[in-house]
Amino acid sequence: MGDRRSAPATGIALSERAPQELPTDIDRREAPATPAPPAAVEPAAVGPVEPASVGPGERATAPAPRPSALARRARRLASRAVTKSGAILLLLAAWEVLPRVGVFDRVFVPPLSEDLVVWYGLLLDGPLPEHLRASLIRSLSGFGLAVALAIPLGLLIGWYRPVADALTPLLEVFRNTSPVALLPVFTLILGIGETSKITFVLYACSWPVLLNTVSGVKTVEPLLIRSARSMGLGPLRLFQKVILPAAVPAVFTGVRLAGAYSILVLLFAEMVGAKAGLGYLILDTQSSFRIPEMYAGIITISALGLLFNLLLLRIERRFSTWRTT
Identify the three-state secondary structure at position 40: coil
Question: Nearest CA to 300 among 169, 129, 160, 137?
Answer: 129
Question: Nearest CA to 149 among 187, 216, 203?
Answer: 203
> What is d(CA 276, CA 270) in angstroms, rounded to the nearest whole number?
7
Question: Nearest CA to 291 among 130, 136, 105?
Answer: 105
| Average confidence (pLDDT) over 17-36 | 46
Residue 220 has a pLDDT of 83
Q: Residue 273 region, left (φ>0) first, then alpha (ψ -120 to 50), else beta? A: left
| Average confidence (pLDDT) over 111-122 | 92
Residue 266 has a pLDDT of 86
Residue 69 has a pLDDT of 77
Question: Nearest CA to 304 among 167, 177, 143?
Answer: 143
* CB contact set of 204 (below 8 Å; sequence gap of 6+): 142, 146, 179, 261, 262, 265
Residue 202 has a pLDDT of 93
- Domains in the chain with CATH codes: 126-319 (1.10.3720.10)
| Average confidence (pLDDT) over 157-177 | 85
Which CA distances in Å does 274 have to 67, 101, 194, 285, 307?
A: 57, 38, 9, 14, 25
* CB contact set of 140 (below 8 Å; sequence gap of 6+): 262
| Average confidence (pLDDT) over 157-168 | 87
| Average confidence (pLDDT) over 137-154 | 93
Residue 65: what residue type?
P
Q: How many CA atoms lie within 13 A of 202 on its CB side?
A: 16
| Average confidence (pLDDT) over 17-31 | 46
Residue 151 has a pLDDT of 93
Name which of 87-91, 127-131, 159-163, 238-242 the model is least confident about.
238-242
Residue 138 has a pLDDT of 92
> What is d(CA 12, CA 9) in angstroms, rounded to the nearest whole number?
5
In the chain, pLDDT over 90 holds for what percent of residues?
A: 28
> What is d(CA 129, CA 268) in angstroms, rounded to the nearest whole number?
20
* Statement: residue 125 has pLDDT above 70: yes
CB 112 within 8 A of CB 95: yes
CB 239 within 8 A of CB 281: no
Residue 5 has a pLDDT of 44
Mean pLDDT score across all residues of the chain:
79
- Per-residue pLDDT of 270-310, as tens digits, reads 887 788 889 999 999 998 899 999 999 999 999 998 898 88
> What is d(CA 196, CA 188) in angstroms, rounded to the nearest whole number?
9
* CB contact set of 174 (below 8 Å; sequence gap of 6+): 207
Name which of 56-60, 173-177, 182-186, 308-312 the model is least confident about.
56-60
- Per-residue HEC secondary structure of 87-149 comes to HHHHHHHHHHHHHHHCCCCCCCCCCHHHHHHHHHHHHHHCCHHHHHHHHHHHHHHHHHHHHHH
Q: 96 or 241: whose pLDDT is higher?
A: 96
- Per-residue pLDDT of 33-85, as tens digits, reads 454 555 444 444 444 444 455 455 555 555 554 557 777 787 887 777 777 77
Angle, helices 112-125/291-319, rounded to nearest 10 degrees? 80
Residue 68 has a pLDDT of 72
Count the Cβ atoms, other than its own, within 10 Å of residue 294.
21
Question: Nearest CA to 207 among 269, 243, 255, 158?
Answer: 255
pTM: 0.70
* Statement: residue 28 has pLDDT above 60: no
Question: Nearest CA to 134 among 277, 281, 294, 280?
Answer: 277
Residue 145 has a pLDDT of 94
Identify the three-state secondary structure at position 278: helix
> What is d(CA 160, CA 166) in angstroms, rounded to the nearest whole number?
10
